[in-house]
Structure 1
Amino acid sequence: MTATQRKAALLGEADLPTEWRELPPGAERGALHVGDPVCQPLASLLGDMLWGPDADVGKRFRHGAGEAHISTRVVAYPGSAARDHVARLSGALDGCPSFTTSLQGLTMNVRASRLLMPRLGTDSETFRLSAGREGGPLNVQSDVVVLRRGAEVLSFQYSPTDPSDHEGFDPLARLAKDKFVKATRD
């Protein structure tokens, strides 16, 4: 997948309702590590949720002046690595419903749970990541879809301002999926 194809596969400001604005690329940061390697794919997605993806693979957006965010990424993998990536993520959802990681010296508790919504493709996962400081309140909650087509994988995350306000996820996730599918079909 060329850079032009990847750009065509990603949502842009013009694809979203007018109150969404693109943010600068994610800042340099270290990876979030977990003790159990089965959980690492979820920790990597948590990093995108907190800081946004690297500029060469994704974009992130904020809703107006609020705290709702979108983070989206498209990655092309060699050989069967895309299928393996989604399989590892499925394994993490099955074998790692919760884990802890460290963020700037603070211990973060993270829970992952599949969402009950129609699958967006045969090789896809839709789930929620919830993270909070150990002993503290829930800090971040994000609904996530990961979808593979051929050698490309889309990950789309929606983090609402209020952890109880997840209605915006489904239409935005479908918009991201449709753009990704069109770009990978062309």
Structure 2
Amino acid sequence: MTEGQRQAAMLSEADLLAEWQRRAPGVGRSALAVSDPVCRPLAGLMEDVLWGPEATSGAWFRHGAGEAHISTRVVAYSGSGAMDHVVRVRGALDECPAFTTSLKGTTMNVSASRLPAPRFAAGSEAFRLSAGRQGGPLHLQADVVVLSHGTEVLSFQYTPTDPSGHKDFEPLARLATDKFVKATHG
């Protein structure tokens, strides 16, 4: 895919309600350290930066002045790299239900659990990452879907302002995955 095709495969402001505004990604942060290397694919999804071995495109959105966030990334791999990435995520979900990492100097406990939501496309994984300060309250819960098609991987993450917002994940994720699948078929 070209950069333009990757951009077309991601959500844009035109796809979202007016309350969603595009924001810049984080900059200059290195990969999050994790307590168990098997968990690395999950920790990578928490990073507010572009990641990937080859060509990567991303878009980040904030809901008004609130704390709800969306990130959508499309990463190009060569060979079987896209499917291999999803297999690593799947393995991390199976073998790494919890891990610790350091986020902005604070030690965080993170747990991962699959969501009972329907699959969004063949080979997709939908799950929730819950993070909180070590010894402290829950800090955030992000619902994530990862899927591959051909040599591309879509990572879509929705972090609601509060637990009542999780109901919005499925329609937003469906919008993101449908757009990705349509663009990668074209």
Using the size of structure 2 for normalisation, the TM-score is: 0.94
In the alignment, the residues of structure 2 paired with residue 53 and residue 162 of structure 1 have an alpha-carbon distance, to the nearest angstrom, of: 25
In the alignment, the residues of structure 2 paired with residue 13 and residue 52 of structure 1 have an alpha-carbon distance, to the nearest angstrom, of: 19
In the alignment, the residues of structure 1 paired with residue 150 and residue 175 of structure 2 have an alpha-carbon distance, to the nearest angstrom, of: 19
Q: CA RMSD in A?
A: 1.4
**Cα gap change, 1:11/1:42 in structure 2, threshold over 3 Å: closer, same or farther?**
same
In the TM superposition, residue 45 of structure 1 has moved relative to its aligned partner by 0.5
Residue equivalent to 1:174: 174
Residue equivalent to 1:85: 85
Q: How many residues align?
A: 183
Residue equivalent to 2:153: 153
Residue equivalent to 1:13: 13
Identical pairs, percent: 66
Is 1:124 the counterpart of 2:124? The answer is: yes
In the alignment, the residues of structure 2 paired with residue 8 and residue 152 of structure 1 have an alpha-carbon distance, to the nearest angstrom, of: 13
In the alignment, the residues of structure 1 paired with residue 25 and residue 95 of structure 2 have an alpha-carbon distance, to the nearest angstrom, of: 31
In the alignment, the residues of structure 2 paired with residue 104 and residue 161 of structure 1 have an alpha-carbon distance, to the nearest angstrom, of: 20
In the alignment, the residues of structure 2 paired with residue 60 and residue 104 of structure 1 have an alpha-carbon distance, to the nearest angstrom, of: 19
Aligned amino acid, residue 37 of structure 2: P
Residue equivalent to 1:67: 67
Consecutive aligned runs of 4 or more in structure 1 exceeding 6 Å deviation: none
In the alignment, the residues of structure 1 paired with residue 49 and residue 162 of structure 2 have an alpha-carbon distance, to the nearest angstrom, of: 19
In the alignment, the residues of structure 2 paired with residue 66 and residue 15 of structure 1 have an alpha-carbon distance, to the nearest angstrom, of: 19
In the TM superposition, residue 140 of structure 1 has moved relative to its aligned partner by 1.2
Residue equivalent to 1:105: 105
In the TM superposition, residue 131 of structure 1 has moved relative to its aligned partner by 0.5
Structure 2 spans left out of the alignment, 5+ residues: none
In the alignment, the residues of structure 2 paired with residue 82 and residue 90 of structure 1 have an alpha-carbon distance, to the nearest angstrom, of: 13
Aligned amino acid, residue 58 of structure 1: G
In the TM superposition, residue 178 of structure 1 has moved relative to its aligned partner by 1.0
Residue equivalent to 1:22: 22
In the alignment, the residues of structure 2 paired with residue 4 and residue 100 of structure 1 have an alpha-carbon distance, to the nearest angstrom, of: 37
Aligned amino acid, residue 61 of structure 1: F
Cα deviation 1:56-85 (Å, max 9, x = unaligned): 520100111111000110001000111110
Tell me, yes or no, if the aligned pair for 2:29 and 2:49 is still in contact at 8 Å. no
Structure 1 spans left out of the alignment, 5+ residues: none
Deviates more, 1:86-95 or 1:29-38: 29-38
Residue equivalent to 1:42: 42
In the TM superposition, residue 52 of structure 1 has moved relative to its aligned partner by 4.7
In the TM superposition, residue 42 of structure 1 has moved relative to its aligned partner by 0.4
- Indicate the SS of the match to 1:167: helix
Aligned amino acid, residue 45 of structure 2: L
